Structure 1
Amino acid sequence: MAHVQAMPSADQIYVVASMGGVIYLKPSPTEEVFAALGKQVVEGQTLAMIEAMKLFNPIEAEFDCEILEILVKDGDDIERGAPIYRVKRVAYV
């Protein structure tokens, strides 16, 4: 599960890494990204995977949101707490 961190604007939030490791933004090198810039994702949807100690751990959306900014590259080494995405809450009517 991802951790979220509020920004100055309450509806814009950072999704941060729950652990350190290698981040993967795609299920495999030939597939599309889990969450594309400008796209809306739903609560529980996988946003990325972090490989730590040969285990793949999903980063999932904790709420419905739109991807505003992708702050890492596929295959980057990241630390716990590193921002991965900047998102905006969305409400479906």
Structure 2
Amino acid sequence: RVLATAGERRAEELRGLGAEVTPYGEGMAARVRELAGGDVDLAIDAAPPSGGLPELIRTVAAPRDVMTMSDFAAAEELGVRYQFGEEGN
């Protein structure tokens, strides 16, 4: 099962791939947790750095359950995993 957050422009594309979509922005963590029935297993951040990692952390049991492919500075600070090419933690 895949849950996704997206704006209107990408939502339909994600639904076409089989994801359940909720808007990003204020209240996103609560909406994701409601769809999931609690914590999600893994949250992946593929958006440009926007300060959204703290909100993603609220969707999982622990910060290490979040992986970012874009916000490396915040990942180090918040204890979130990151991946870039061959590098990661």
Q: 1 or 2, which has the higher helix percentage?
A: 2
Same fold per TM (> 0.5)?
A: no
- Which structure ranks higher in relative contact order (CA pairs < 8 Å, sequence separation ≥ 6)? 1
Scaled by the length of structure 1, the TM-score of the pair is 0.22
Scaled by the length of structure 2, the TM-score of the pair is 0.22
